[in-house]
Amino acid sequence: MILPWIQLENYYGQNLVRPYRDNFVYATRNSTFALLCFGDSAGGRDVALFQSTSLHAEVNALRGELWDRIWAQVGNRKSGNPRAIITLAINRSSCCGCAQWLSDALAELRTLGASRGDRFIVAARGIYEDAAMDTRTTDQDLRKLFGAGWEQQVLYTPRPSIPHDPTRDGLPPYGQQLYDGLARLGVSTPDPALLP
Ligand SMILES: [Zn+2]
């Protein structure tokens, strides 16, 4: 259920991912960043950062050029393209609107041919509100993302000065809230959430 940031660097490439680390280490849950990461079994790698504008960062990620390229590759499975792992790292869990966008986008991609062999991970640092989870990110949103095929993880991005502790105890309070929500609903994969 916990995806350590270092795994993003190891899998997608330190040179591509590391420059964006501070956006996730020091961001609060009120500032939105989304890092869209693409990797495939043939060694293809691509990463792009999106910020909130008048739209939330997740929506901007789905409107970006990289998502179009993911569509072209993953949505064209008949051509024998290699298997892909797509990770959307965000600094707080998605609101109801973005959960719907993300779920619809993945459902559409699956109808085009993306299969179980491709992995889609959404990893947030924590929950986007207080523990009640009744307005911004609800139980229903976490279930919806799970149903659409998103693997949900808690992104672990400690300050560099802090000892590495990718466990529930090592998460900030709003990360622990997301962890507990995913566990309570059974909508995450078990630890460790390893990328290959
Ligand atoms: Zn949103």
Task: Return the half-sphere exposure (C-beta side, CA atoms, 13 A cut-off) of residue 22.
Answer: 1
The Å distance, Cα 95 to ligand 1 centre, comes to 4
* Alpha carbons 87 and 17: distance in angstroms, whole number: 12
Residue 161 C-alpha to ligand 1 middle, in angstroms? 31
From ligand 1's centre to the CA of 102, what distance in Å? 10
pLDDT of residue 144: 94
Distance, CA of 172 to CA of 155 (rounded, Å): 11
Residue 39 bridge partners (DSSP): 45, 85
Which helix (H) or strand (E) segment is 33 a member of? Answer: strand 33-40
Q: Which residue has the tokens 């008949």?
A: 78
Residue 31 reports pLDDT greater than 80: no
> Residue 75 Cα, ligand 1 centroid: separation in angstroms?
24
User: How far, CA to CA in Å, does 58 sit from each of 48, 104, 154, 191?
Assistant: 12, 13, 16, 25
Question: Can you tell me whether residue 98 is helix, strand or coil?
Answer: helix
Instruction: Note the pLDDT of residue 111.
Output: 82
Averaged pLDDT for residues 47-57: 93
Residue of 56, 134, 65 lying closest to 102 (CA atoms)? 56
Q: How far is the CA of 190 from the centre of ligand 1 (A)?
A: 26
Give pLDDT, residue 130. Answer: 58
Architecture of the domain made up of 2-185: 3-Layer(aba) Sandwich (3.40)
Q: 32 C-alpha to center of ligand 1: Å?
A: 9
Q: Ligand 1 centre from 58 Cα, in Å?
A: 7
Nearest to 96 by CA among 124, 126, 56: 56
Q: Could you tell me the distance, in angstroms and rounded to a whole number, from the CA of residue 5 to the centre of ligand 1? A: 22
**Ligand 1 center–CA 38 separation, angstroms:** 21
132's CB contacts (< 8 A; 6+ apart) are none
From ligand 1's centre to the CA of 105, what distance in Å?
14
Report the alpha-carbon distance of residue 32 to residue 125 in Å, rounded: 11
Distance 41 CA to ligand 1 centre (A): 31
* Ramachandran angles phi, psi of 123, nearest 5°: -125, 115
Q: How many angstroms is it from 98 CA to the middle of ligand 1?
A: 4
CA of 178 to the centre of ligand 1 (A): 16
pLDDT tens digits for range 155-196: 999 988 988 899 999 999 999 999 999 999 999 877 667 787
Task: Give pLDDT tens digits for 66-124.
Answer: 999 998 888 776 666 788 999 999 999 998 899 999 999 999 888 877 666 789 999 99
First to last CA, the chain: 16
Distance CA 18, CA 144 (A): 31
β-strands 45-51, 33-40: how paired?
A: antiparallel
